[in-house]
Chain A
Amino acid sequence: MHEVQPAVVVENVTFLWWIPLLPALGVLFHIFLGRRVGKTAVSVVGPSVVAAAFIVSLVAFIRVWLGPPGLVLQQVLWSWLPVGSLDVRFALQVDALSAVMILVVTGVGFLIHLYSVVYMHDDPGYARYFAYLNLFTVAMLVLVMADNLLLLFVGWEGVGLCSYLLIGFWYDNDANASAGKKAFIVNRVGDAAFLVGIFWLFWSFGPGSHTFSFSEIAERGRQLSPAVVTGVTLLLFVGATGKSAQLPLYVWLPDAMAGPTPVSALIHAATMVTAGVYMIARLHALYELAPISLDVVATVGALTAVFAATIGLVQTDIKKVLAYSTISQLGYMFLAVGVGAFSAGIFHLLTHAFFKALLFLGSGSVIHAMGGEQDIRKMGGLRRYLPVTYATFLVGTLAIAGVPGFAGFFSKDMILARAYAEAPMLWGLALVGAGLTAFYMFRLFFLVFLGECRADAHTRAHLHESPRTMTIPLVVLAVLSVVGGYVGLPEFLAWGDRFSAFLAPAVGGSAHAGGHPHLALEVALMGASVFVALAGIAVAYRFYIQAPQTPQQLAARWRRAYQLLWNKYYVDELYAALFVRPIVQLAHVLWRQFDVAVVDGAVNGAGGVVQETGRWLRRWQTGNVQHYALSLLVGTLLLLGYFLGRG
């Protein structure tokens, strides 16, 4: 890469360890005292330790922000593994990238903790829930603050563990337990590759002092052969596809929605699933040495973005729609880092954390109000009953659809612009995905909040807006889903892309390292994505609002447009027949056949084969001592045969 890397300035500080330590204290509190001190104390301690961690994170962030470019705060806790030439340290660091991540983890995390106070209030496992949630926060903070790959892996495993525990939180339900299992098995596959990648990297560094810190990996990576770098980065990426739910290892995420909704918001939308993106951004120096790996990352990302979006079209469970949309959005992030736009990827990670957490918490509020119902066909017209949820959900939907002015627009646009410059094919895919996203998100929105309420009378009688503790996080996240985008404006607007400038020392380059596109081209690209988004919204509107059963007043209000478009009605039908229906069909096929049959089959099959083998092996353990003696003798003869065969 030709851009000038700003010099890194390391400053040793002593307060960083408080950031993971505070939630860790919370974990201990919940485990050992939680059941004794009662719910009130848990409700206070759970969120406030995260809030405290947020404040410390804010201090760290401001230090990095105001400090010289390339400032890295570092705290070496102790030498973990100083053996021979090896010197892996238990060290935390906060550079620009980590600073953004810890703010997201603790900030969004705090809001979700707060929301959980009410959402989980009547759950018998209240203290256990907060213990897990705090533990997750600790692990995630270790992951993003680690100064070396091994410590990152500590966090990586930790968040995984908490994820399984929380997916299976309501264990009395078999489906939940098997969802947890699925997440677990799929992640094993990814982790196996990840671990082998780590070992291979360490091994190929050979002798000489090494800390495996990211700066050293960047440094020494240059001396490795391209084949090794490609192999290692691909293996690490396989790990990322597991954790971040990309093709082909995405299958666990939709099932993971079995967990409590705030968990889906925190772990399976805002933070943990983005760990893969973070990891690649963190190792950007290594990935930049392996163009093939980057191409693979970008392609997998773009394919996932579209693939998951098509599946999202036909889902009827509110959380499943959001789950597929998360997979799709993560695909955008991988597309971004794959085309070398690391800061754009992280930018989208940031805005996505806001609007997706918002959408999940909003859906939680809806589910809460509906008495546990998650089927969007049984909702409708909730706007009247849940005004705050409605308004904030609308903001979130606009943001994810990429409507100008909202956060998602800026970050997605940054990715698309860069993708166009690097790989027009992938840009095309991503554009299609953007249109689909706008469509299915508004379909969801319309079906839930507008139109006639399709709930039964009993449910309808109990419809109510959620309490303040739940709506405040919604409002805060809604505000962030708007203003969050303004930190990274297109270069030609107002203050331009401050976000990329801030991140540049940590992830290298700026959004426009690949050459500044012409203003006209940039505007044209932006126009294309806006057009696609609006088209998606319009189609959704036509399909789900303008249908015959739409209330009278709506039809009347839109009479003129209706008249105007009358002749196009047939086109709509045609469009539906030619385009939408095949897509819907395809989506169904993909979902039913591929997702459910093939991938689930493979996952369950792999688990099943191992279990079957276990059962088969068990049969040899007959309990008869002479059978054991026989196996011993046979083993002896085989060994003798081996030894003599060699000699």
Chain B
Amino acid sequence: MTTLAFPDVAWLPLLPLMVIGATALLVLVADLFSEGPDYDALGWLGLIGLIVAAVCAALLWNQSGSTLAGTLVLDRYGLFFTILFAVGSGLTLLLSMNYLETTDIRSGDYYTLLLFSTVGMVLMATSVDLIVIFLGLEVMSIAAYALAGIWRTQVRSNEAALKYFILGAFASGFLLLGIALLFGASGETLLPRIGEVAATGTGEQRLLVTIGAALLLVGFGFKVAAAPFHSWAPDVYEGAPTAVTAFMAAGIKAAAFAAFVRVFVDSLGPLAGDWRGALWILAVLTMTVGNVSALVQRNIKRLLAYSSIAHAGYLLVGMVAGGENGNAAVLFYLAVYTFMTVGAFAVVIALGRRGQPHEDLDDWAGVGLRSPFLGFAMTVFMLSLAGVPPLAGFMGKFYLFSAALEAGYVWLTVIAVVNSLVSVYYYVGVLVKMYMAEGGVEAEATSARPYLFAALVATLAGTFLLGLFPTPWFEIARRSVESLI
């Protein structure tokens, strides 16, 4: 009998990844056997899978190691993001369970794609090999393209998917070319090796690494929606089904930052002198374009899209600052942002009905008075996004900006502070609409939508918790970046 060598694989680092992947397959299969119209069971299945994955990741907290020829690592940085993605996707799932009822989206496909996208995200955060990071990014993105267009009968959903796909693939091309050039310089795609070449390479190698770094910056800049690579975001956010938009704002952005920070700190650290300046400019551009454009928006999803662009800018400030505090601040802020933005989109969903999405700001008039809970929730999320103390958004900005100051970027900090003050204008604008105008639409009672209600409570809790008791969480974020160089 012929035998084949079974590859010697360390399975432990793969555990959370495999749990989510298995859940995705399970949902895919279960969908074949479940009959509508009640697909809650599928949602629960996905939710349980994500919770198990998060628990696994938490249990692995004190472990470390690597697997698959060193391409995947088990470190706190990866685990932090694994848990964050599980939370973000879990919240998205939760609010989708009520949202999908108001659409023509097939739940089974939707949940499967969501989970596969999460698999890609985890891959991005735990890998130290550029090609695996690229694969993770594509797994995440291709599922996200499909998710954006999953409401097939909706013209806007089609268009969002199309734009996301064309531009995403276009940007992927640049990213891939960047990877190819880095490979050309070092003969490998493992991050530590590339770092060595970047530090000590010959002139020709360094040239290739420099161009490669610029192209990677484009690829990641696109995914995090940094100006001038942001133009897809408003259109896609507006057109995609709202739950998917929440997922993109929270999960995909976080995943892109996970890989972004790891690649640039871990392997391109020696080139920091080059990319810091570029990031500085990108950060300023991104914050300013995002905030200024948001001022003139009338559609709440589009407004939140620009707000999301602006937040990418704040996060870039943390990356520019670098160091343990800067990177930890980025991680902390991503966690904060997940809660705030998913919460805000949850309120948007709560206001919508079948066939009437109620995304125009005029629909929001007086909502705060008629639905005190939704009003309260939106107030908290808006103020937190605006960075009003003592909510989580303020703490996040506090860490980000003080890290930038500590690193000596005074002007960047001033610009960031001014930007976040400008942003208060449009966030409060939403509140003013909600509390100070008549008309608008009647929101469905949240009690009729239990999952949505649960998602709102969870995001509210997160927003308060991270704002009032930020320290333990920041400490976790700090521990997580220790494993980076």
A contact set with B: CB distance below 8 Å: 31-32, 35, 78-83, 90, 125, 128, 150, 153-154, 157-158, 161, 164-165, 168-169, 171-172, 177, 180, 184-185, 188, 191-192, 195-196, 199-200, 202-203, 610-611, 613-615, 617-618, 620-621, 623, 625, 627-629, 631-632, 634-636, 638-640, 642-644, 646-647
Report whether A168 and B432 are in contact in the complex, using a CB–CB cutoff of 8 Å: yes
The B interface, classified by DSSP as helix, strand, loop or mixed, is helix
Residues of A within 8 A of B277 (CB): 642, 646
Give Cα A643–Cα B475 distance, bound, in whole angstroms. Answer: 35
Residues on B facing A (Cβ under 8 Å): 162-163, 166-167, 170-171, 174, 206-207, 210-211, 213-215, 217-218, 221-222, 228-229, 231-232, 234-235, 273-275, 277-278, 281, 289, 292-296, 369, 372-373, 375-376, 383, 388-390, 395, 398, 401-402, 405-406, 413-414, 417-418, 421-422, 424-425, 428, 432, 435-438, 468-471, 474-475, 478
How far is B177's CA from A640's CA once the two chains are assembled, in angstroms? Answer: 13
- Chain A CB within 10 Å, residue with most, of B213, B281, B424: B424
Say yes or no: A639 contacts B222, CB within 8 Å. no
Q: List 11 A–B pairs whose Cβ atoms lie within 8 Å, in order of A's numbering.
A: A90-B390, A125-B369, A188-B424, A203-B402, A203-B406, A614-B296, A628-B232, A629-B170, A635-B221, A638-B228, A647-B206
> Which residue from B211, B217, B406, B428 sits with its C-beta under 8 Å from A164?
B428
User: A195 contacts which of B278, B421, B471 (Cβ < 8 Å)?
Assistant: B421
The answer to whether B292 touches A617 (Cβ under 8 A) is: yes
Bound together, the chains give a CA A414 to CA B234 distance in angstroms of: 59
Closest to B235 in A: A623
B228 touches A643 (CB 8 A): no
A614 to B468, Cβ gap below 8 A? no
B369 to A157, Cβ gap below 8 A? no
* New A-B contacts (17) at CB < 8 Å, excluding given A202-B405, A642-B281: A80-B468, A128-B369, A150-B389, A157-B389, A158-B388, A161-B383, A171-B432, A184-B428, A192-B418, A614-B292, A614-B293, A618-B296, A629-B170, A634-B228, A640-B215, A642-B278, A643-B275
Residue among B163, B406, B421, B475 making CB contact with A625, cutoff 8 Å: B163
Chain A residues with CB under 8 Å of B417's CB are 192, 195-196, 199
A83 to B325, CA, bound (A): 11
Contacts of A611 on B, CB cut-off 8 Å? 295-296
A632 near B376: Cβ-Cβ < 8 Å = no
Contacts of B231 in A (CB 8 A): 620-621, 627-628, 631-632
- Whether the Cβ atoms of B211 and A614 lie closer than 8 Å is no
Q: Quick check: B436 and A168 within 8 Å, CB to CB?
A: yes
Most chain B CB atoms below 10 A, which of A32, A35, A81: A81
Q: Which residue of chain B has its CB nearest to the CB of A176?
A: B436
Task: Judge whether A188 and B372 touch: CB under 8 Å.
Answer: no
| A188: B residues at CB distance < 8 A | 421-422, 424-425
Give the docked Cα–Cα distance between A611 and B425 (Å): 11
Tell me the bound Cα distance from A326 to B292 in angstroms. 34
Bound CA span A153–B398, Å: 12
> Chain B residues with Cβ under 8 A from A125's Cβ?
369
Q: Identify which of A200, A632, A634 contacts B171 (C-beta below 8 A).
A: A632
Task: Determine the residue in chain B with the shortest Cβ distance to A87.
Answer: B471
Given B170, B273, B405, B471, which contacts A82 in the complex, CB threshold below 8 Å?
B471
Residue on B with the closest CB to A207?
A: B406
Out of A90, A629, A636, A647, name the residue touching B207 (CB < 8 Å): A647
Closest 7 CB pairs between A and B? A635-B228, A171-B436, A614-B296, A628-B231, A643-B214, A154-B389, A614-B295
A632–B402 alpha-carbon span in the complex (Å) = 31
**Separation in Å of the B38 CB from the closest CB of chain A?**
32
Would you call B470 and A81 a contact (CB within 8 A)? yes
Please report the C-alpha to C-alpha distance between residue A443 and residue B292 in the assembled complex, in whole angstroms: 46
Which residue from chain A places its CB closest to the CB of B373 in the assembled complex?
Answer: A32
Please report the C-alpha to C-alpha distance between residue A638 and residue B405 in the assembled complex, in whole angstroms. Answer: 27
A636–B206 Cα distance when bound, in Å, is 19
Q: Is the CB of A610 within 8 A of B214?
A: no
| A164 vs B431: C-alpha distance when bound (angstroms) | 11
Residues of chain B with a CB closer than 8 A to A636's CB: 174, 214-215, 218
B180 → A minimal CB distance (Å): 15
Interface of A is mostly: helix
CA distance A164 to B372 in the complex (A): 20
When C-beta atoms are compared, the residue in chain A nearest to B383 turns out to be A161
**How many angstroms from the CA of A646 to the CA of B435 in the assembled complex?**
52
Write out the residue numbers on chain B whose beta carbons fall within 8 Å of the beta carbon of A202: 402, 405
Q: A188-B421, A632-B171 are in contact. Are A643 and B163 (CB under 8 A)?
A: no
Q: How far is the CA of A377 from the CA of B12 in the complex (A)?
A: 84
Q: How far is the CA of A128 from the CA of B213 in the complex (A)?
A: 55
CA distance A154 to B211 in the complex (A): 46
**Alpha-carbon gap, A475 to B255, bound state (A):** 64
Enumerate chain B residues within 8 angstroms of A165, measured Cβ to Cβ.
432, 435-436
Complex Cα distance A79/B475, Å? 14
A625 touches B424 (CB 8 A): no
- The CB with the most chain A CB atoms within 10 A, among B162, B296, B383, is that of B296
Residues from chain B with Cβ under 8 Å of A642 in the complex: 214, 277-278, 281
Interface pair A632/B425, CB less than 8 Å apart: no
Q: Is the CB of A83 within 8 A of B278?
A: no
Nearest CB in chain B: distance from A194 CB, A: 10
- Taking CB atoms, residues of chain B closer than 8 Å to A644 are 210-211, 214
Chain A residues whose CB sits within 8 angstroms of the CB of B405 once the complex forms? 199-200, 202-203
Could you tell me the distance in whole angstroms from the C-beta of A616 to the nearest C-beta in chain B? 9
- Could you tell me the distance between the alpha carbons of A81 and B418 in the complex, rounded to whole angstroms? 23
Say whether A639 contacts B428, CB under 8 Å: no
Q: Is B217 touching A639 in the complex (CB atoms < 8 A)?
A: yes
Residues of chain A within 8 A of B170, CB atoms compared: 629, 632
Residues of B within 8 A of A195 (CB): 417, 421
Measured CA separation A635–B229 after assembly (Å): 7
CB-CB under 8 A from A32, the residues of chain B are 372-373
Taken together as a complex, chains A and B put the C-alpha atoms of A79 and B174 apart, in Å, by: 47
Instruction: Pick the most buried of A168, A621, A638: most chain B CB atoms within 10 A of its CB.
Output: A621
A171: B residues at CB distance < 8 A: 432, 436-437
Complex-state Cα separation, A66 to B207, whole angstroms: 76
Are B214 and A632 interface neighbours, CB within 8 A?
no
Q: Is the CB of B470 within 8 A of A153?
A: no
Question: Smallest Cβ distance from B333 to chain A, in angstroms?
Answer: 14
- State whether A83 touches B471 (Cβ < 8 A): yes
- Cross-interface CB contact of B218 among A83, A613, A639, cutoff 8 Å: A639
A627 CA to B232 CA, complexed, in Å: 10
Q: Determine if A610 and B471 form an interchain contact, defined as CB atoms under 8 angstroms apart.
A: no
* CB-defined contacts of A79 to chain B, threshold 8 Å: 471
Distance in angstroms from A508 CB to nearest chain B CB is 28
Distance in angstroms from A155 CB to nearest chain B CB is 9
B292–A610 CB distance below 8 A: yes
B235 close to A621 (CB less than 8 A): yes
> In the complex, how many angstroms separate the beta carbon of B267 from the nearest chain A beta carbon?
16
- Contact among B163, B289, B422, B468 for A617, CB-based, below 8 A: B289
**Which residues on B sit within 8 Å (CB–CB) of A154?**
389-390
Cα distance, A642 to B432, chains bound together (Å): 43
Q: How far is the CA of A125 from the CA of B438 in the complex (A)?
A: 11
Contacts of B296 in A (CB 8 A): 611, 614-615, 618
Give the complex CA separation of A80 and B417 in angstroms.
21
Give the residue of B388, B395, B478 whose beta carbon is less than 8 angstroms from that of A81: B395
Which interface residue of A161, A615, A636 has the most chain B CB atoms within 10 A? A636
In the bound assembly, the distance between CA atoms of A195 and B174 in angstroms comes to 40
Which listed residue (B166, B211, B402) contacts A640, Cβ 8 A? B211
Q: Which residue of A lies closest to B324 (CB)?
A: A84
- State A576–B274 Cα separation when bound (angstroms): 71
Q: CB within 8 A of A643: which of B162, B213, B435, B474? A: B213
State how many angstroms separate the Cβ of B366 from the closest Cβ of chain A.
Answer: 10
